[in-house]
Amino acid sequence: MQLKEQRRNKRPETFVSHLASGLSEMIEIGLTGGIGSGKSTVAAMFADRGAVVLDSDSVVRELQAPGTPVFAEMVSHWGDRIVQNDGTLDRQELASIVFEDPVELQILNDIVHPAHAIEMEKRRAIYVDTDTILVFDIPLLVEVGRGGFDGVVVVDLEPEKAVERLVSDRGIEEGDARRRMANQATREERIEKADFVVENGGTRADLANEVERCWEWIESLPER
């Protein structure tokens, strides 16, 4: 409700035209950034401002839970070696299988992607004809070339600083952080696809200011 009021105040003409047609339209934002850039932190800040965040990775994890069709298909292909003692997916083992073998990676994608696309669409559909700001948190947005957003926000951070934060805050081993980064798009490739860059080289307070600037930009976007 608060969000609705804010947007009503910001874009009176657009909103009035939607009132006239009896329809509202959501704003769809793609959010991405390299590992350690601060993407999850920014997603949480958007959620605090009233956005609905659809987290692509957590949807994948839900789809791969024991008992799901995706889990069954994965186990039928790779066998028990990808299942831990507690019956859940052994992500590390799966990662080591697909990491250096493009054929296995393609098989994994073929199993997971269709179910993922259906689930994301199902969650998106809930907000059609509302004036929700929907943020799709997609780590590999640039790598998979996903489009169709009203705007793409990229969280940008110097890779060395990202490694530092991942090691000190999240306890990730340095070599592991660097390997994961090497497997992702470069900083330049990501920025090239951005409609708005959120710079995260400063303090958390600086980041909050950047997010505020970005939120104002999002609210100024014309609805489709």
**Interacting residues with ligand ADP (CB under 6 A):** 33, 35-41, 165, 169-170, 200, 203-204, 207
Least distance to ligand ADP, CB of residue 48, Å = 14
Least distance to ligand ADP, CB of residue 28, Å = 20
Least distance to ligand ADP, CB of residue 51, Å = 15
Residue 35 in contact with residue 180, Cβ under 8 Å? yes
Which of 113, 181, 179, 102 is CA-nearest to residue 146? 113
d(CA 220, CA 218): 5
Least distance to ligand ADP, CB of residue 142, Å = 13
d(CA 218, CA 224): 13
Residue 196 in contact with residue 150, Cβ under 8 Å? no
* Segment (H or E) for 205: helix 204-220
CA dihedral 98, 99, 101, 104 (to 10 degrees): 10
Q: Which residues contact 57 (CB under 8 A, 6 or more apart)?
A: 137, 139
Residue 71 in contact with residue 64, Cβ under 8 Å? yes
Nearer to ligand ADP, 73 or 158 (CB): 158
Least distance to ligand ADP, CB of residue 26, Å = 23
Nearer to ligand ADP, 171 or 222 (CB): 171
Nearer to ligand ADP, 97 or 198 (CB): 198
